[in-house]
């Protein structure tokens, strides 16, 4: 029997997310934007609730193509407010549209959204060694810095706790507990990717 971080419980969807995505270093701009939006949608709710709605989010938000989302109109937003498959919160929906435009601005400045985010950890995932859930922080100084930067650029639903959840989910930090079977796997994957990056000209 595999040891897992206890937060994923016994739900098959939650376990699949824990086993195959959470903590895996992600560098695709669209997928990074998806996770930013989903983490924001989670505010005040459980992550499992958002995972169950994830396919609906992908469908109604153009598979998180920020170039399309940035052009959504008030009519589009009104239609989203009636969709049963997502969280019908106008502030959260507006945030996705507004944040999409900010991502486009960041890409124009930095080249891509991935570089902007990963610069906060110097391009290398932080390897934590927590032994219990009680040790895992809900936010850090890095997530507070990222939050301040994103808010300054005009984003919403990007508080320091949401930003740290993003950092965890996209592998900027490895927060699998040391007794979780994924901790060493993620560590090895991160080291392999880092070596690959170092080989680039």
Convert the pLDDT of each residue in 75-91 to its tens digit: 999 999 999 999 999 99
pLDDT at position 103 over 70: yes
pTM above 0.75, yes or no: yes
Return the pLDDT at 54.
Answer: 98
**Is 7 tagged catalytic?**
no
Q: What is the pLDDT of residue 190?
A: 80
pLDDT band at 1 (very low <50, low <70, confident <90, very high): confident
**Residue 148 belongs to a domain with what CATH number?**
1.10.340.30
Q: How confident is the model at residue 201 (pLDDT cuts 50, 70, 90)?
A: very low
Q: Tell whether 73 is covered by a domain.
A: yes
Q: Structural domain tally of the chain?
A: 1
85 part of a folded domain: yes
Residues 6+ apart with CB under 8 A from 198: none
- Please name which of 41, 43, 64 lies closest in space to residue 53, comparing C-alpha atoms: 41
Is 58 a member of any domain?
yes
> Does residue 80 lie in a domain region?
yes
Among residues 26, 34, 39, 57, which one is catalytic? 39
**Is 9 part of a structural domain of the chain?**
no
47 is an active site residue: yes
CA 169 – CA 94 distance, rounded (Å): 23
Domain that holds residue 82: 22-198
Residue 186 lies in a domain: yes
> pLDDT tens digits for 44-65?
999 999 999 999 999 999 999 9
Joined tokens for residue 11? 């739900």
191 within some domain: yes
Show the tokens assigned to 104. Answer: 């486009």
Q: Each residue of 106-116: b (16+ CB within 10 Å) or e? A: bbeeeeebbeb
180 is in an annotated binding site: yes
Residue 7 lies in a domain: no
């Amino acid at each position: 029997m595999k040891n897992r971080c206890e937060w994923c419980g016994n739900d098959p969807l939650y376990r699949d997310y824990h086993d195959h995505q959470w903590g895996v270093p992600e560098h695709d701009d669209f997928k990074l934007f998806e996770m930013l939006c989903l983490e924001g949608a989670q505010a005040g709710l459980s992550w499992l609730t958002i995972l169950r709605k994830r396919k609906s989010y992908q469908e109604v938000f153009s598979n998180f193509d920020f170039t399309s989302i940035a052009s959504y109109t008030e009519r589009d937003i009104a239609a989203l407010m009636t969709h049963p498959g997502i969280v019908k919160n106008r502030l959260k929906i507006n945030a996705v549209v507004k944040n999409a435009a900010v991502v486009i601005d960041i890409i124009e400045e930095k080249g891509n959204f991935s570089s902007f985010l990963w610069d906060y950890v110097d391009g290398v995932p932080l390897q934590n060694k927590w032994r219990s859930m009680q040790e895992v922080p809900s936010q850090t100084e890095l997530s507070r810095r990222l939050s301040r930067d994103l808010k300054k650029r005009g984003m919403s639903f990007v508080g320091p706790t949401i930003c740290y959840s993003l950092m965890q989910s996209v592998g900027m930090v490895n927060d699998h507990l040391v007794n979780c079977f994924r901790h060493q796997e993620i560590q090895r994957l991160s080291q392999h990717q880092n070596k690959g990056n170092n080989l680039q000209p």
